[in-house]
C-alpha cells in the first residue's frame, strides 16, 4: 500500500541521469511534481509508462510540474533507457531500494519497485497517488486527471 494522501513526502537524495545528484527538497523546491516508481528499464510495461510520460511531458511542463522516474537500475542503464526512448526527464537510481521503501513502492520479498505514481504539491505533500503494477498506461491518465481537478 502506498503512502497516504495529505502526508509529507519523504525527502531523498539519489544519483540522476546527466551525471547529477538529485535532492527532492532542493531540486523541486516550491514546485508541485510527479515522482513515479517503476520496476525495470527496458521491460514492456515500464517502457510504455515512460513513453506515456514523455508523450504528455509538455502538458506537465506547461504547468511547471517536473517529473522524475525512479527504479533500482543503475545510472548506466538509465542513461541507455533515457536515450533509447528520448525521455525529456531524469531517471534516478535507487540501488539500495531505500527510497522505494520509504515511499512504500517496494514489493516486500522480491525487493523490486512497484509501479506507483505520486503527485506532490508545492510543499511536497502528497496530493494524489496511483498504485497499479499492471496498469502502466493508466498512470499518466490518472495524473492528468488529478492535475485538471486542481
Q: Give 76's DSSP letter.
A: H
Which residues are 37's β-sheet partners? 70, 116
DSSP lists the bridge partners of residue 71 as 93
SS3 content of the chain, % helix, strand, coil (to 5): 35, 25, 40
**46 assigned to active site:** yes
> Shortest CA distance to 123 belongs to which of 55, 34, 43, 29?
29
Q: Which helix (H) or strand (E) holds 133?
A: none
Which residues lie below 8 Å from residue 101, measured CB to CB, with a gap of 6+?
Answer: none
Place of cell 515500464: 46
Which position among 33, 46, 51, 100 bears the catalytic label? 46
Catalytic positions are 46
Amino acid at each position: 500500500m502506498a503512502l497516504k494522501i495529505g502526508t509529507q513526502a519523504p525527502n531523498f537524495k539519489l544519483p540522476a541521469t546527466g551525471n547529477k545528484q538529485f535532492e527532492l527538497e532542493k531540486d523541486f523546491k516550491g514546485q508541485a511534481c510527479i515522482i513515479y516508481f517503476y520496476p525495470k528499464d527496458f521491460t514492456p510495461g515500464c517502457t510504455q509508462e515512460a513513453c506515456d510520460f514523455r508523450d504528455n511531458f509538455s502538458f506537465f511542463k506547461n504547468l511547471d510540474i517536473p517529473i522524475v522516474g525512479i527504479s533500482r537500475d543503475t545510472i548506466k542503464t538509465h542513461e541507455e533507457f533515457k536515450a533509447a526512448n528520448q525521455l525529456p526527464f531524469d531517471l534516478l537510481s535507487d540501488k539500495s531500494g531505500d527510497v522505494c521503501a520509504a515511499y512504500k513502492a517496494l514489493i516486500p520479498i522480491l525487493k523490486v519497485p512497484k509501479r506507483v505514481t505520486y503527485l506532490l504539491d508545492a510543499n511536497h505533500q502528497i496530493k494524489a497517488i496511483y498504485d497499479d503494477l499492471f496498469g502502466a498506461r493508466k498512470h499518466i491518465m490518472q495524473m492528468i486527471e488529478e492535475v485538471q481537478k486542481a
